[in-house]
A and B are shown apart, each in its own frame.
Chain A
């Protein structure tokens, strides 16, 4: 299967390790992986902060870059939700843009969706002997309805002990520019989230979105908790040989 990676601008710039993990994971599972070089950003930050015009331009760019692939895989619940849920609302019904969006968006998958729904694998042959807790980010949970797909994958990782996160469904307080526009509330939400994470006794906090992990991880690190954050792809990509 010819798969295009939509690595997302945040991962591309700040978390290249996640992108590399997706590449090695998908190749291990037999996919022919391509990274269309012209890709940039889905436009979520612009649209959600009230800059619709710029957002629409980025959406148009996205549909041009990813037209013609069998599947587009993104290691970000939030960006996948942006494309699938919000793009259709950006174009005038019946317009050319709307047709392009209707053509591309159904083929866009978040990583765990792609593994379970398209490749039909639950055990990706990973090995990660650590105590891990999982935070289902809001857009994965309520935008994409990922359900237990990520935790099903984690449960099949050898050596991994998955511990439940209290209040898992509560927002961590990142919310894109919300973290900067409403810093007090965002920090308070982040502090409550890190407290729940500490209560689990986990070594690693895992999620399907590096933006949320950047916010929670930044808080965990400032508080010197010693808990690491890791993207789902990185755990799924790790094998016994790699350890």
Chain B
């Protein structure tokens, strides 16, 4: 059973400090993110109309969010008409209860899972375990995280922080049929996982999935994946339960055209993803349940600046280009949504009452690389700055900022402060005290000049 992020202690600066000192982690992350970053850049560069596609993706999502109530009802009707059952879940507890009851009703104690962020967000596996139901992850990276009793650290590649030899160790330790002659070659590792999973697919009567998109017009759900394991889960079991965030909606079938281009290029750097599964309602021999999850999303929708985070299609492009994510690693964010999107989505969904969540909007240098990479043009820096204004600030910082604001509000006060600094310029120590020691731990401070520009100008030009 993989660990959960519930009640993670600490804050981002503390968590990332540990990660920065782990050279193996830094190496793994740098290698992985730079590889995928390069692939993404080259396939995005191939499309002359990328910026138009991006604008179209943004516009479709904004339109949908604006009329979300209407499209959700349309979806419910279409899914019901096609023989599926729709459930509405206000929060994680309600969603977990609905799914648990549905599984219990089948009499099964095991379920297979298609990789899904929504079920991770609500900690469904743990909720099921509390009722004696074991959930088996079937996505390779998700499986590695689950077997290693670890936290996911990336949206698309949850085990990105692990390298091949670490994965081999986990398999040796946790897979019953694996023998010590297993090498750490990727094909060998994949084969071991395949054998391990095959048995599960054939045995399982219940599957749980999420969805990348839902089409309101037809009631169709869409899952994009690279391994084909999801497809096995979606088709073999007798009961299929999909837990999907309400923002995953698209109005019409035609809208998919835009997103089936945007998503694979942004996420895996492929022109097209290998497996696209679509299903509408219940198919013959299978029961279908759709659990529509709110869990804070309508609150996000109510926020004028922050609501753009709901356009996110979880491609993880922003993580792969983020210099902070690259050094801090995903665990530092203490949420299933790490990186730039996590820094704005998590505090919006969970609020900022914990120390960790309040530190997330500051986990960025505002370099803007995420905004540039985002296929639906979410202005992540803009939302970060907006959340910073709402986040709690330490009293000492508030006082300092007030003083700085007061001095800067008047040029005469500023000039006085500059002259005062000049007078003590020889006395400034090489190592500064308090929060400023963070600067002098690794950097020299610039020398205070003999004269400010403004005084120089006054002396030369106005004389």
Chain A contact residues, CB within 8 Å of chain B: 7, 9, 11-17, 19-20, 23, 35, 37-41, 43, 45-52, 54, 57-58, 61, 86, 89, 138-139, 141-143, 169-171, 173-191, 214-215, 217-219, 221-222
CA of A189 to CA of B26 in the docked complex: distance in angstroms?
Answer: 11
Instruction: State whether B453 touches A184 (Cβ < 8 A).
Output: no
Q: Which residues of A contact B461 (CB under 8 A)?
A: 35
Chain A CB within 10 A, most for which of B12, B21, B397, B458: B397
**CB of B93 closer than 8 Å to a CB of A:** no
A5 to chain B: closest CB distance in Å? Answer: 9
Instruction: State whether B367 touches A171 (Cβ < 8 A).
Output: yes
Instruction: State whether A184 touches B366 (Cβ < 8 A).
Output: no
Instruction: State whether A40 touches B449 (Cβ < 8 A).
Output: no
Q: Which residues of B contact A175 (CB under 8 A)?
A: 364-367
B327, B365, B402, B457: the one contacting A35 at CB < 8 Å is: B457
Q: Which residues of A contact B436 (CB under 8 A)?
A: 180
Instruction: State whether A48 touches B327 (Cβ < 8 A).
Output: no
- Given A13-B418, A182-B324: A187 touches B453 (CB 8 Å cut-off): no
A51 to chain B: closest CB distance in Å? Answer: 5
A37 to chain B: closest CB distance in Å? Answer: 6
A41, A45, A181, A190: the one contacting B442 at CB < 8 Å is: A190
Q: How many A-B residue pairs have CB under 8 A?
A: 182
Q: A15-B446, A185-B16 are in contact. List 6 more A-B contacts (CB 8 A).
A: A15-B449, A54-B405, A173-B365, A177-B362, A181-B13, A185-B328
Q: Which residues of B contact A54 (CB under 8 A)?
A: 401-402, 404-405
**CB of B445 closer than 8 Å to a CB of A:** yes
Interface of B is mostly: helix
Instruction: State whether B13 touches A184 (Cβ < 8 A).
Output: yes
Q: Count residues of chain B with CB under 8 A from any CB of chain A.
A: 62
Instruction: State whether B448 touches A222 (Cβ < 8 A).
Output: no
A39, A176, A188, A221: the one contacting B366 at CB < 8 Å is: A176
Chain A CB within 10 A, most for which of B397, B408, B410: B408
Instruction: State whether B371 touches A217 (Cβ < 8 A).
Output: no
Instruction: State whether A219 touches B365 (Cβ < 8 A).
Output: no
**CB of B426 closer than 8 Å to a CB of A:** no
B57 to chain A: closest CB distance in Å? Answer: 20
A32 to chain B: closest CB distance in Å? Answer: 12
B323, B324, B410, B444: the one contacting A221 at CB < 8 Å is: B444
**CB of B368 closer than 8 Å to a CB of A:** yes
Partner-contacting stretch, out of B217-225, B276-284, B381-389: B381-389
- Given A35-B457, A222-B444: A184 touches B17 (CB 8 Å cut-off): yes
Instruction: State whether B366 touches A178 (Cβ < 8 A).
Output: yes
Instruction: State whether B453 touches A40 (Cβ < 8 A).
Output: no
Instruction: State whether B439 touches A180 (Cβ < 8 A).
Output: yes
